[in-house]
Amino acid sequence: MKNKTAPIGIFDSGIGGLTVAKAVMKALPNEDIIYFGDTARVPYGIKSEETVRRYALEITDFLLKKGVKMILIACNTVSASAKGEIIAKAGKVPVLDVITAGARAAFDQSGHKQIGVIGTLATVHSRAYVSAINEINGGAEVIQKACPMLVPLAEEGWIENEVARQTLQEYLKEFEEYDLDALILGCTHYPLFKEIIPQILHSQRTVVIDSAESIAETSSGKLQELNLLNKGGGKFDCYVSDRPQRFQELAERFLGRKLQDVSVINLS
């Protein structure tokens, strides 16, 4: 059994997973967190599944050596391609992923029947959200839309300006003929736009599902179930595989707080 004071490990191909880290900090302020961003090999979406699995297992090994008590896959591409292998490698260490958390959250509201998903091209083409949703409710209708331009807008900090609004309007046109029960933000960058998305959606009753918040809530419940909640901590350590200065700059924007240090680790 892991020590309660052991950290939670969170990883992503880059900086998008920091929205997950931020949500975990809010839900579990007493937990120590180790975050790894694979900035040398981002983006994962254009890599083969075999390559993504290899990268993900290398990162998993790194986090396990750090003694984490839980691993959060804060990358939709990894969640779609390598979740099973990560669970097997982690052994008794629980593993949670953003796709499963987001899909479940879509039904926690009221058993939704018509669900929209926006994500990157790789996530949409993988149909991982469709599979996860159908496992929960085979009768649900899932409408997907790839929104690749949202990632560079988020990283540029163009969140609420006219360019962002017009881009979202163009993408969300896909859902105008539907009366969605829920819209899942299927990319960890997308929660940065969650304040303006409801203003643009055709259906005002649509519940916007933030997978970062969903996995944070699931993490809290799982740690409580395992009696692993920490009562005093809150340390946040960041590791990347390249470009620590750029990562720190973007991370501070994503997190809304200063970082003391970002360490570079070569996994290959």
Give strand pairing partners of 10: 35, 72
Among residues 10, 98, 105, 187, the one annotated as catalytic is: 187
Give me the residue label for tokens 């839309």.
145
Which has the closest alpha carbon to 14: 33, 35, 38, 49? 38
* Local structure of residue 37 (DSSP, 8 states): E
Kindly list the strands in the beta sheet with 207-210, ordered across the sheet, starting from the edge strand earlier in the chain: 141-146, 114-119, 182-186, 207-210
Alpha-carbon span 176 to 209, nearest angstrom: 18
Provide CB contacts within 8 A for 11, sequence distance 6+.
17, 35, 36, 37, 38, 56, 59, 60, 63, 71, 72, 73, 74, 75, 78
Helices 244-255 + 18-27 axis angle, to 10: 50
Helix (H) or strand (E) holding 10: strand 8-12
List 75, 98, 154, 215, catalytic entry: 75
Contact (CB, 8 A) for 174 and 143:
yes
Q: Using CA atoms of 192, 68, 248, 261 in order, give the dihedral in degrees to the nearest 10.
A: 150
Going edge to edge, which strands form the sheet with 70-73?
95-97, 70-73, 8-12, 33-37, 236-240, 262-264
Q: Is 75 a catalytic residue?
A: yes
Active site residues per annotation: 75, 187
